[in-house]
């Protein structure tokens, strides 16, 4: 696909792995009225990164071998490298992004497209 797209002058953007959380999570949205509900749910960023290392290495290999392929680092958008712990605030459950989580990717994706 990358080669055919390159022949046509088309850039390909691949989303790297969306991290998932190992345990069932619900009710991740913040409740402004309930200060007692602040739960410290999160996973070490290094652990999440290591779990997806081989997949991301393969995607990066594709991008290195095709000048028209770029990787959108969705993990860094959802959990910046400056954070040690990734929280599920932007997730609806342990696998799926919430609406606000999805919308939070907009700026980074637009930057990648431009």
- Closest among 66, 47, 54 to 4, alpha carbons compared: 66
Average pLDDT, the chain: 83
- What domains are defined for the chain? 2-26+38-109 (3.40.50.1110)
3-state helix, strand, coil in the chain (%, to 5): 45, 10, 45
Please check the confidence at residue 54 and state whether its pLDDT lies above 70: yes
Q: Note the pTM of the prediction, 2 decimals.
A: 0.73
At 5, is the pLDDT very low, low, confident or very high (cuts 50, 70, 90)?
confident
Segment 50-59 shows an average pLDDT of 90
């Amino acid at each position: 696909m990358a080669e055919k797209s390159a022949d046509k002058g088309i850039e390909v953007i691949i989303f790297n792995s969306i991290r998932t959380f190992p345990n069932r999570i619900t009710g991740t949205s913040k409740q402004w009225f309930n200060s007692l509900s602040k739960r410290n749910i999160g996973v070490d960023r290094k652990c999440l990164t290591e779990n997806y290392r081989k997949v991301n290495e393969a995607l990066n290999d594709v991008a290195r071998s095709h000048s028209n392929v770029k990787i959108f680092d969705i993990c860094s958008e959802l959990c910046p490298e400056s954070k040690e712990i990734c929280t599920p605030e932007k997730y609806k459950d342990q696998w799926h992004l919430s609406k606000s989580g999805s919308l939070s990717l907009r700026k980074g994706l637009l930057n990648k497209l431009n």
